[in-house]
Amino acid sequence: MRITTETVRDEHAWVRDRAPVVVPVINETRDRLGGLFETEVDPVTPEAYRREVDAVFADGEVAVNVAGCVALLRDLDVAGDYPGFVVDEVLGRELAATVAGGRPLSLLAQATFHLVDVRVAEDATADGAGAAGADDLDAALAAGFQTRLPGWDWREGENPFAVGAGGGE
């Protein structure tokens, strides 16, 4: 595989165009997590998703890594699937973490990836590729962007642990 600026542009457009598939998965995930944690989580619109995709791909160092993971997962298939279980899970988890950003968000996205992955079926990928990595790709995008995007109360306002910002004593 060779990644060029054209590859990154192509993957950016592909991820952006996934809004009809990824946004419903994001919102279902937010509903499910909100129920588990007894909180309301704002839904994500396709426009907010696309803006955030643009923000992720605006950082060249992040963009090339996201593009590489996306391209690998789009094409990844293993005969019988199960022998390749680890590689698509690793790539999906890392893609979710990269999209979400630095810690602690990257860790949350990795944990969320596994929750989403068990609920995303290959047929939900909408492109009919049938590759083993296709469902992991959609799960990773949903987990990463749902973690990164605003809408969680605990992420709004000042953090009480931030020293010198009204928090911490």
Residue of 55, 22, 51, 14 lying closest to 146 (CA atoms): 22
In this structure, is residue 169 part of a structural domain?
no
- Total domains in the fold of the chain: 1
Assigned domain for 19 exists? yes
Instruction: Indicate whether 165 belongs to any domain.
Output: no
How confident is the model at residue 76, as a pLDDT?
84
Q: Which of 28-37, 52-61, 78-87, 101-110 has the lowest mean pLDDT?
A: 78-87
Residues facing 167 on adjacent strands: 163
Closest to 93 in 3D by CA, of 128, 135, 131, 140? 140
Mean pLDDT of 69-84: 80
Question: What is the residue range of 35's domain?
Answer: 5-150
Question: Is 83 within a domain?
Answer: yes
69-89: average pLDDT = 81
Kindly state whether residue 48 falls inside one of the protein's structural domains. Answer: yes
In a domain, 162, yes or no: no
pLDDT confidence of 158, banded at 50, 70, 90? confident
pLDDT digits (tens, 9 = 90+) for 24-68: 999 999 999 999 999 999 999 999 999 999 999 999 999 999 999
* CA-to-CA separations, 163 to 69, 152, 159, in angstroms, rounded: 36, 22, 9
Examine residue 23 and state whether it is found in any structural domain, yes or no: yes
What is the value of pTM for the model shown?
A: 0.88
